[in-house]
Structure 1
């Protein structure tokens, strides 16, 4: 038992040293990371809004604008994650993770979305503490997407 504990302790200590040796201060600073490599974001849960229009041309146009707005928010480095959810009992439709510090900043950004303005979608927002490296995956997305929206 004591030998196992010593081996575990040595392994943990070695692993901890390895993690600190790969620390990149310049990268951490450029991403706004705290000492744990984390930062604050806003998690947006998109849900069905109060506008229940069935006019296909209208909804198609608004959701086309929704997708264009997503691309715009990515291009200005404010949106780091977006995606739809499968049908569920809470009527949640999708998520955004916005690279902003406050709910007010997030509200200003999501109000630029035509589907939200038209109330086809509504949003619940939460401050969320996650990895500061999250935006780093974005350049790879274009390399793995065969078709754009």
Structure 2
């Protein structure tokens, strides 16, 4: 009986060892291309967009500024500087949306924020903070291109 249990334990441990090796999908080349650290993570800058102080813009001005806002988002995404962007649904906190900048410092993100016409016109206000997340996040834009029927 002891021999049977020992054999079963040995087979279980060998199976575990081989299944872990077979499931290991670490891709060093991909990790390096995404600037991933040993955990597969990297630094970003998270940007919370809130309603700005400009409450006097006309409907036409607002529309034009938000067209520029969307064009800027698309430009930054194509340049690889923007990993994720999107609006919030209606809420009581005046939160409008987020950016996740594919940069390491607040200063770099601030320079990118200043390229947004809606922020320049104070329709939106940006709050920046360093963020640590999976390096794979930057692949989101490429995947999105494959699943979006309609483009902005």
Which of 38, 41, 47 is the equivalent residue of 1:38?
41
For the Cα contact (< 8 Å) 1:53–1:59, is it kept in 2? no
TM-aligned CA deviation for residue 12 of structure 1 = 7.5
TM-aligned CA deviation for residue 108 of structure 1 = 0.3
Which residue of 1 is the match for residue 70 of structure 2? 67
TM-score calculated relative to the size of structure 1: 0.87
For the Cα contact (< 8 Å) 2:50–2:96, is it kept in 1? yes
CA distance in 1, matches of 2:128, 2:140: 23
CA distance in 1, matches of 2:28, 2:125: 39
Q: Is 1:137 aligned with 2:140?
A: yes
CA distance in 2, matches of 1:67, 1:105: 20
Change (3 A) 1:12 1:42: farther
Change (3 A) 1:35 1:49: same
Which of 77, 86, 90 is the equivalent residue of 2:89?
86
Largest Rg, 1 or 2:
2
For the Cα contact (< 8 Å) 1:78–1:100, is it kept in 2? yes
For the Cα contact (< 8 Å) 2:84–2:140, is it kept in 1? no
CA distance in 1, matches of 2:94, 2:18: 47
- Once the two structures are superposed, the pairs formed by residues 107-122 of structure 1 within 5 Å of their partners are 107-122=110-125
Equivalent pairs, count: 142
CA distance in 1, matches of 2:36, 2:148: 28
